[in-house]
Structure 1
Amino acid sequence: MPEQLFLVGNLGTMITYAALSAVVTVPLARSGQLRSNRLAVVTALIFLSSSVVHGLHAYISVVNLDQDAHAVPMIWVWILAWWNVVTCAIGLWYWAVRRRYRVQVRGGAIFVDPRGEQRLAEADAREQQARAMLEAVVEHTDDAIIGVSLGGAVNAWNPGAERLFGWAADEIIGRPITVLADPEGLDQQMDIAQRLARGERGIHYESRRYAKDGTPVEASFSVAPVRDAAGEISGAAIVVRDVTAAKAAAEQQRAVEERTHQAQRMEALGKLAGGVAHDFNNILAIIVNYTDFATEQAAGNDALRGDLEHVRNAADRAINLTRQLLTFTRGDTIQPQDVDLNAALAEVQAMLGRTIGEHINLITVPSAEPITVHADPGQLQQVLLNLAINARDAMPDGGTLVLEANAAALDGEELDMQPPLAAGTYARMLVSDTGEGMSAETAARIFEPFYTTKPRGKGTGLGLSTVYGIVTEAGGSLNVYSELGVGTTFRIYLPIVTAPGRSGPAASRQEPPDGAGRTVLVVEDEAVLARVVTRILVNGGYHVLTATGGEEALTLFRLHGCDALLTDVIMPEMSGRRVAEVIHESRPGLPVLYMSGYSNGLLGTTHVLDGDIAFIEKPFTAVDLLLKMGSSFPQGTNVESTTVS
């Protein structure tokens, strides 16, 4: 029995040592280290020599198995048999341990596969690099990265979170994440926690949170669950990005687009107003001049003259309304002249008395002494009307509106003057109401274009910015005082004209020069208005040739010639400007006076006419036309007609 155990043990040990020798030698040969890795080579030789020794022992055991000679005591045979069995078992255990590792032995190994170790080193390096990169991102990103436990306590807080919310890491770690939220945000956080618990992998949303000092933070959140080694959810990782600036930029972009649309609508309104005003002014020109003709014929009939004066006054109001419409849409030129504030106040009172409503008590307080300013009368009326309409809207349940005119002395140190004014005495208009009033924040912005506190569709935000532009263009300034629940007072300061010059009304009292038989070629496509113009010029001493279109006008010019051309600007088939250009080819110096229901400002901005041409705006009176016609001829021109037969 011991002999058989001795034989089996030697055979097993031989095979084990041979296998270990091969395990060491084969990688050495493949990696080219048979000469350089001496320790591994010696180890392989030891294993090989041990395998040979045990092989010889096994051979001797087989040879002597049937011999009855016992050269070795039996006790040593048993000892060697069991030693071989133990050695074989240790070899098998070593083989099993080695198979668990990608390299032969870890930590203090006598031999390491260099390729496997290199791969491990590269993997470790990549892992360390990725960890360092993530640490750098967490440390230096502007986004807040927050870790939260299942109980809602903060357990991670990066510098980005410190910058965004104002809490230092040692201040907030351990506190509940709810310190950042208001009641509405608490409900949202509970909902997010429940969704994570149900297994949602990633949740994205935007909400408002609050910094340590109470400042609101508009933020974008990305929430992901954090799992432990067992795969169970142990908390959440939250990335928070500040979108306050982005939201403000988006809101600003939306406001810009809305303002652009408003401007486009106003431009369309201006074009529409210009077209309507052109036709309306033609009609008004007919009404005004035929009324003047009838008034001349009604001498001695006081009742008829009184009726015609009412018609004329109504026509004048219509003319003023048309001019205001064109002024509002920026289609009219500014025509400053000396204006009496008391008269302007009276005109606005007459307009408002019919439109402001019975629930508003309108009071006008004129200046005790006449006060004259140099401004466009239509724009001055527009200022008062805009302020009065705003005051009416601020008193939906009724109240009192007061319009005043007086003089005020300024020392140049007044507060809240927009813009500041130098010291001196100024004309002052006051528009006061007992309405809802404004907060200081609102009052600071009311002159901004497109800023309005009225509901959408109820206001354009252009009224007060227009007022500001008109007043500052006239060299003036504004002051606003308002209290919530009490009312508002606007004070408009304008330079006083101490010695009123000759302006529009004064010029209208001049005597127009006699036509002296000069021939005027009149081109007007509105037949009724052409007859009116012809009648005025004939009464003024001119000889008139009348055409209702460009081709007819050129034919009359070739046949009869003329001393001056009076033409409408906008006409079908051929414009007045083209008619003048053709005539100037043969008569370069011929005086030309243009007339139109469009304003000169509108025609100039659309490049229909140059800014320095002779122009008269419809509707006009007979005196206006004769004065303008007379001024079209150069001084010293021979009054003798230059027409050709």
Structure 2
Amino acid sequence: MADQVFLLANLVIAAAYAAITVAIVVPVSRAGQLRSNKLATATALIFFSCSIGHGLHALAALLLAVHGPKHLTEHAGTDGWFWVSALWDAFTATVACYYWSLRRGYGVLLGKGAIYDDPWSRHRLDEADARERAARDVAEMQQATLATVVEHSDDAIIGLTPDGIITAWNGGAERVFGYRATEALGRPATMLAGRLGAGEQSTTLERLRNGARSIRYEARRTRRDGTPIDVSVAVTPIRNHAGALTGISAVARDITAAKEHAERQRAVAERTQQAQRMESLGNLAGGVAHDFNNILAIIANYTDFAIEETADRPGVQADLIQVRTAVERATNLTRQLLTFTRGDAIQPRDVGLNTALAEIEAMLERTIGEHIHLVVVPSATPLTVHADPGQLQQVLLNLAINARDAMPDGGTLVLEANQADLDGDELNMQPPLPAGRYARLEISDTGEGMPPEVAERIFEPFFTTKPRGKGTGLGLATVYGIVTEAGGSVNLYSEPGVGTTFRVYLPLVDASAGEVVPEERRADPPRGDDRTVLVVEDEVALARIITRILTDNGYRAVIANNGREALAAYDQHGCDVLLTDVIMPEISGPRLAEMLTERRPGLPVIYMSGYSNGLLGTTHVLAGDIAFLEKPFTAADLLHKLAATGSRTPAA
């Protein structure tokens, strides 16, 4: 009877364990977690082994019942072992039933990474899951906030691959560079740099690939419409947990306006220093002149006494006359010094500039030399200024003599009188003038010109580039003193090997008897209606000023530094008006205009130059019927000239 109970019990337990194994394996297998859910699989194996074990017990009991006890040992203790085994099997069955009740009560978790849990661990897991979800929500919120900040930043924030391909492009980049994200993504960053900046970018990327942590630099880049901009760039590598370079972050800030402001501040500071230096030198020169005049008076008078006392000694008188001549030369020098320092007595009155030009023309025709071609261009409208007539003649004469000396092999000297409207922000005005309308005298030559370092000091007293004995260095200092005493200013434009133009600005005064007819105030110029102006100018500061004027008034500016860049820019962007400097290396302004009008007949062209129109016309650089803009010009001058010239529609 006991053998039958043992056999039946093992069969029941083996069947129960097999059922449990199937109950575990089937849902786990259906969930596709037979391999990933290792704990469930291991549990199934445990029950499977238990099922096999009880099956073997049942098999042993069956063999005993069939074949008898001959297969078992005969010694004592067999019955005791039998009951121990039976009790163990009963205990195992109890555990299985308990596990089965737990499974039915709490189920089997079939999600990814599922485990069998108990009521106590379930609470801890729920808390951990809640914390994880909260942390994930916070991270997602922070990521969304960061994305919003990046997208709406005024700075251009750009993502790059290690090879420089654009992978991210925020709204700031669209505003700074003008490209939409769809136009920039997937393209190399060299699209923003041009030929010159491409090498700099390659070097920066190479440094980052070699381990550099971050790089900051300033560079010039190009907007979509061809406008150059100055940017401050911060480039930072993006690395993974292993330290490998996976990407690059570039943050670019537009500093064009800041650099223009800094350059203007520098120019103002230089002008202030120049004025202070001139004032200091003037005070020194004035003191020297007054003291030296006293010494000269003594020398002159005693020399005259000696000449009278030596009438019977002609040899001695001849020597004394040389001394008297030297005293007169020294007296002229001190007079110039006093004029420069505004210490000499002056008698200002209303003077017509055309009259002054006519008088100086008559004087120069007799003295300037046949190798100089003199051209005088009076103003079409009578101009009157308040100045000392003799000093005004001295200004014209000194500048004309300097121009003659700069053309030892001959050349052209042009004297012009006209009006000019200043906006108060012109560069290189010594001293600066407030906005307003002024009379302007222009003295231009085709001489040797002067380098910038000479031009900076040209108005300093005793500074001269002439050989010893050929100049005192007071001529231009005197011009400066006379002009500033009259409330005016002087502008100098010069290029070595090309020539020099002096512009003297003097305040206009109302003339009696209708001599001066004030012009009516010009109407505000029309806006550009998004027309494209190709600006060819090698002076970076001036190109930036022109760009700002144009873009603020509805034009699109495409900037080129020389003729070759202008041709490339025209091929890429085209233009509605060409605004070009006249004197340029390799390709001059007129030649560039010819090349572009061959491509687009009827293209409106405006020339600009620091040399006067009269000079360029007489030297056959420009034809007489061209649109011309003299430097320095105002924003209104430029816009009115564009409105007048650009209204002529070019042929298709």
- Structure-1-length-normalised TM-score: 0.46
Larger radius of gyration: 1
